[in-house]
Structure 1
Amino acid sequence: MTLRPPVKPMLAQAVESVPGPGVLGELAFEQKFDGYRAVLFTPAGAGGAFLLQTRRGPLIQDRFPDLVAAADKLPDGLVLDGELVVWDPQAGRLSFEGLQRRTAARGRRSTRALAASLPAFFIAFDILQQDGSELTDYPYRQRRLRLEALFADHRLAAPWTLCPMTTDLIKAQQWLESWTEISGVEGIVVKAMNQPYLPGHRDWYKLRRRDTTEAIIGAITGTMIRPQLLLLGRRDAYGDLRSIGRTAPLRAELARLVGGNVIAADAGHPWEGWRFASAWGSRDLLDVTLVRPELVAEISADTAVDGGGVFRHPVRFKRLRLDVAAEEVPLFSPGPSAAAG
C-alpha cells in the first residue's frame, strides 16, 4: 500500500535525561536540528510529482524549487521523514529566520531568488516507504539500515543529508554538550532500536541543551502578589532594555518569592505602550503589569533564539539573584549568541 500525504509524523516528547535502556531496550541517538519537520514523497509512478509535506499536512514544495530540482537524484516510490533547514551563506550558519522567509514566499520569482540566496537542505532521519513498499512496521534498526544504504547506493549529497546517528551514549552526550554550540543544532532525539514507526504517536524522546544565564524582570502577568509569567529583558550597548522572552508559568513557591520582591513600575518604564505576544510568533497578547527593571532572574534556556535575540521557547525561572545588580546582567545580543550568559 502506497503512502500518500498527509502522513502524520511520529513525534517526540521532551525529557530532562536519557531514558534508561531497561525501559526502551537498545537506544539510538540522533542530532536534533532546529528547522521545520517535513515528509518527502517522490513519484510512485508515471505522472506523479515530488511532494513536500509539513508536520501539520500542507504541501510546500512550490516554496522550495531547489529541492524540486534535485529530486531527480532520488528513486521513485520513496517517503522520507526529516527536518527542513536553510543555510545563510552570509552569516555562515543555519538560519531559522531564513527558513521562515522561504516557507512564506509566494510567486515563482520570489521563491527562486530566495533559493539562490538561502539554499535549503533536507536532513533525513527516517524512511517510511521504499520502492512503493511501506516500512512503518519495520523496527527502527532496519529502517535506519535501509536509509543509510539509500544514501550510499545513490551517492546522495546536498541538498539531501543523512542525519547523524549513534548508539554510543558517551558520543551522544558529547553531541549534546559540544554540537549544540553550533547554530541550528539544539539537542538530541532518543529512539528505541526495536520500535516501529507510529504515525502521530509521541513515543520518541528529545533533549535540548539548556544554558543557565541571567535576565532582568521587566514585567509580569498575574498579580503583584502571585505573578504567573515573567517577561524578561537585557540592556543593549546603549542602555535600552530589550525584550528577550518570557518564562514558563511559575510554580507556587517561586511565584510567592517573586511577588515578595517585585515592585510596580514608576512612570517612564522603557516598555510603556509595548504589547507582548503570548507565545513566539503568536498574535494573541498578554495582559502584563510593568515592574521596576531592577530584579535579576536566573533562568535556564535552550538554544533556540531568533535573529532578534528573542528566545523562541519559554525559559525556566530558577531563582532570584538578589546578589546580582541589573547592570551585571549580560548585555543584549541579537541572533543565536543572545542565549549565552
Structure 2
Amino acid sequence: MHLSPPVEPMLARSVTTLPPSGPRPMLFEQKADGFRVLVFTGPEPYLQSRRGADLRPAFPEIARAAAALRVAAVVDAELVVWHDGRLDFTALQHRARLRGPRAERAAREQPAHLITFDLLEVSGAVLMDQPLHQRRRALESHFASLELAAPWALCPQTADAATARTWLDPAWGAAGVEGLMIKDSGSRYRPGERGWLKLRTRMTTEGIIGAVTGTAHAPRSLLLGRLDATGRLRLIARSTPLSRTAAIELGAVLRPAGADHPWWGREFSAGWGTKELLVFQPVVPEHIAEVDTDTALDLGRHRHPVRYLRLRDDMAPGDIRE
C-alpha cells in the first residue's frame, strides 16, 4: 500500500491550559504560523494543502526540493515564510496566489520553508499505525540519513512540560510561534480526526474602541484601533461577543460618533477569509479597552477575535500607537 494525494491530515482541538499527565507521556511541539501541508517527495512530488489543493504552482522551490530527495516519503509539515525576523503569514498568503514567473520570482525573494513534524510513509512503508514516538524517531533518522537542510527543518519537540511552557512566552509569539501542539506519544496517525491538542499563546494588549456592532448604548462586540504614524485610527482587532455585564458597562460610556469619524464609509470584513461585510456603528474614539488575544497578526491586525477584559481609564487614545 502506498499513500497518494489527497490524504486527510490529522487535526487538533483547542484547549486553554496544559492537560494533566496521562498514562502515557505527552510530546509537545512548537506550533508555527503557516500553512499545513502534506509533502509527497521523490520522482513524482506533490504539495498538498490541508483541504487537498495542489500548492506546487505557488511554491516551485518546495516542489523542486521534494523532487530532489532520493527517498520517496510523505511528511506532515507547516509551510512558512521567514521575513523581517519572524514567520510572515501575510507574505505566505501573498505567495499562495502567485503562479508562473511571479511565483518563481517570489521563490527567490521570499523563499518558503517546511517545518516537518510527522512521517507518514517512507520507502514504501506506511507508518500511520505506528505510535507517534516511533514515527518521530523515523523522521529524525530520515533527516539525518539524507542530511536535510533548508528548505527542510525539523520541528522542535520535547517531553518536558517545563520546556514546553517556555515556548508559550510572547517573545516566541513575536517570532511567529503561535503556541503548542500537545500529542500522546503512543498515538497512531488518524486522518481527519481531532486527536491532538493545541494551546495558543495568550497575551493582553490595548486598543482604542473605534466602533461597535449593535449600537453605542447596546454594543454586541467591539472594533478596536491604534493610531498610526500620521495619527490616523487604523483597525487592529474585532472582539468576541460581549458578556451582558460588559455590554452594560460599555453602553453607559460609549457615544455615537459624528460625521468626522475616520471609519464612516469604510468597509470591513465580517471575518478573516470572508467577503461578507460587517455592519457597525462608529463611536467617539475616546475609550481604551484591554483585551486578551493570541499572537497571530497580519500586518499588525489580529487575525482572530480578541476577548474584552476591561476599560483602561488610566490611558488615553494618544497612548495607543503602532
TM-score interval, smaller chain: over 0.9
- Structure 2 partner of 1:300: 292
What one-letter code is carried by the residue in structure 2 that aligns with 1:2?
H
2:315 maps to 324
- Matching residue's letter, 2:302: F
**Is residue 2:216 matched to residue 1:224?**
yes
Q: CA deviation at 1:19?
A: 0.9
Distance, in Å, in 2 between the alignment partners of 1:241 and 1:178 is: 25
Aligned 8 A contact 1:73 1:156 in 2: no
Shift of 1:179: 5.2
Distance of 2:173 and 2:243 partners within structure 1? 30
| Residue of structure 2 equivalent to 1:338 | none
Partner of 1:138: 130
Cα distance, 1:5 vs structure 2: 1.1
Q: CA RMSD in A?
A: 1.7
- For residue 62 of structure 2, the aligned residue among 57, 67, 78 is 67
TM-score, L = length of structure 1: 0.90
Aligned residue type for 2:89: F
Report the counterpart of residue 77 of structure 2 in structure 1.
Answer: 82
Alpha carbons of 1:226 and 1:304: their partners in 2 closer, same or farther (altered >3 Å)?
same
8 Å CA contact retained: 2:33, 2:89? yes
The aligned counterpart of 1:335 is none
How far apart, in 2, do the equivalents of 1:10 and 1:179 lie? Answer: 28
Q: Distance in 2 between matches of 1:246 and 1:314?
A: 5
Match status 1:4 vs 2:4: yes
Shift of 1:209: 1.4
Query: In 2, distance between residues paired with 1:289 and 1:314?
Result: 18
Greater alpha carbon shift after TM alignment, 235-244 vs 30-39: 235-244
Distance 1:80 1:179, change over 3 A: farther
Matched, 1:312 2:307: no
CA contact (8 A) 2:219 2:250 kept: yes
Q: Structure 2 vs 1, CA of residues 179 and 224 (structure 1 numbering), >3 Å: closer, same or farther?
A: closer
Q: How far apart in 2 are the matches of 1:13 and 1:261?
A: 38
In the alignment, the residues of structure 2 paired with residue 201 and residue 225 of structure 1 have an alpha-carbon distance, to the nearest angstrom, of 43
Q: Provide the rounded CA distance (Å) in 2 between the counterparts of 1:39 and 1:125.
A: 11
Instruction: Find the aligned partners of 1:202 and 1:261 in 2 and give their Cα distance.
Output: 43
Amino acid at match of 1:255: A
1:199: how far off? 1.1
Q: Which amino acid aligns with 1:52?
A: L
Correspondence for 1:242: 234
**Partner Cα separation in structure 1 for residue 293 and residue 211 of structure 2:** 18
Range with bigger deviation, 253-262 or 184-193? 253-262
Count of matched residue positions in the alignment of Structure 1 and Structure 2: 322
Task: State the one-letter code of the partner of 2:316.
Answer: A
Contact 1:180-1:303 within 8 A present in 2 as well: no
Q: Give the match for residue 104 of structure 2.
A: 112
CA spacing shift, 1:247–1:56, aligned 2, 3 Å: same
Q: Distance in 2 between matches of 1:230 and 1:311?
A: 13
Structure 1 residues 38, 231: CA separation in 2 closer, same or farther (over 3 Å shift)?
A: same
**Is 1:186 aligned with 2:181?**
no
C-alpha offsets along residues 154-180 of structure 1, whole Å, 9 cap, x if unaligned?
Answer: 111111111010001111111221651
Give the partner amino acid of 1:59. Answer: D
C-alpha separation in 2, matches of 1:194 and 1:32: 20
The CA deviation at 1:247 is 0.8
**Among candidates 289, 312, 331, match of residue 281 of structure 2:** 289
1:339 maps to none
SS at match of 2:313: coil
Q: Which moved more, 1:93-102 or 1:141-150?
A: 93-102
Residues 129-150 of structure 1: CA deviation (Å, up to 9, x unaligned): 1122221111111111111111
Measured against aligned partners, the alpha-carbon deviations of 1:9-59 in whole angstroms (never above 9, x if no partner) come to 11122211111113x63111101110100001124xxxx510000001101
Cα deviations across residues 193-230 of structure 1 (Å, max 9, x unaligned)? 11111111112111221221111111111233432221
Q: Distance in 1 between matches of 2:245 and 2:182?
A: 33
Partner deviation per Cα, 1:236-264 (whole Å, 9 max, x = no partner): 23221111121112222222222222111
What is the rounded CA distance, in whole Å, between the counterparts of 2:164 and 2:257 in structure 1? 46
Would the aligned equivalents of 1:82 and 1:126 in 2 still touch at CA under 8 Å? yes
State the Cα distance separating 1:92 from its structure 2 match.
4.0
For residue 100 of structure 1, what is the amino acid of its counterpart? Q
Which has the higher mean CA deviation after the structures are superposed, 210-219 or 258-267?
A: 258-267
SS of residue matched to 1:176 = coil
TM-score, normalised to structure 2, is: 0.95
Asked if structure 1 preserves the Cα contact closer than 8 Å seen for 2:296 and 2:303, the reply is yes
